[in-house]
Amino acid sequence: MVNIKQAISDFEKKFNSTLEKTNRKKSSVQVVAVTKNRSIQETKEIIQGGFFHLAENRSEGLLEKQKELSVYDITWHFIGNLQTRKVKEIINRIDYLHSLDRLSLAKEIEKRAQDSVRCFVQVNVSGEDTKSGIAPEKLEEFILELATFSKIKVVGLMTMAPKNSNEEVIRLIFSKLKNYQKQIERKKIPHAPCTELSMGMSGDYQVAIEEGATYIRIGSLFFQE
């Protein structure tokens, strides 16, 4: 049986150790608990463990959890691919979108959103065919094209490292994203302050923190048996 309380304790020890190693404050890294495919009870245990930033990757999962967990003050993140046809269901129910990767999605958000949406532009740093995201060489052009969309605010960039890669490869991917983020931030684009970095998951969050992540997405670590 999964002992979520113990898993949280183990994570926090490593998390705090990594922050100490990199001389970073706890407030500089937001932990987003990924509760996709998890039960309401499991999610409640995560909340009781002190995590109020939760992430889902399907509109159905998001809506169900919001209904059942409405008594809690939760910041909701949507991760993973967002289908254009699903935008209308969730865009006014989330606080952050971590996967803006195409103009067609931006157009639908502009059409459906009531207020400005905080978005991370997904960048395919590794160049894998199986991964979504903007190619690095097209990143600046894409962000500039978003200037006409009043409902989109690019708060930062997001990427995922290749699965089963060694630390050297992962570090290089995260380091590159940090460089891209800095390049955009320096341009002081009004709709794209781009101060944040969403990178690092259960298997590589420590490297991500060392390379400058400000949002990390932790799921499986909390639910391992």
Residues paired with 122 in a beta bridge: 158
pLDDT above 70 coverage of the chain, percent: 99
Rg (CA), the chain: 17
Fold for 4-31+83-223, please state it: TIM Barrel (3.20.20)
Residue 212 has pLDDT above 80, yes or no: yes
Q: What pLDDT, on the 0 to 100 scale, is given for residue 1?
A: 60
pLDDT: which is higher, 132 or 32: 32
Q: What pLDDT, on the 0 to 100 scale, is given for residue 49?
A: 96
Q: What is the dihedral of CA 167, 35, 216, 134, to 10 degrees?
A: 80
Residue 225 has pLDDT above 70, yes or no: no
Would you call 220 exposed, middle or buried from its count of C-beta atoms within 10 A (0-12, 13-18, 19+)?
Answer: exposed
Distance CA 139, CA 182 (A): 12
Query: 60: helix, coil or strand?
Result: helix
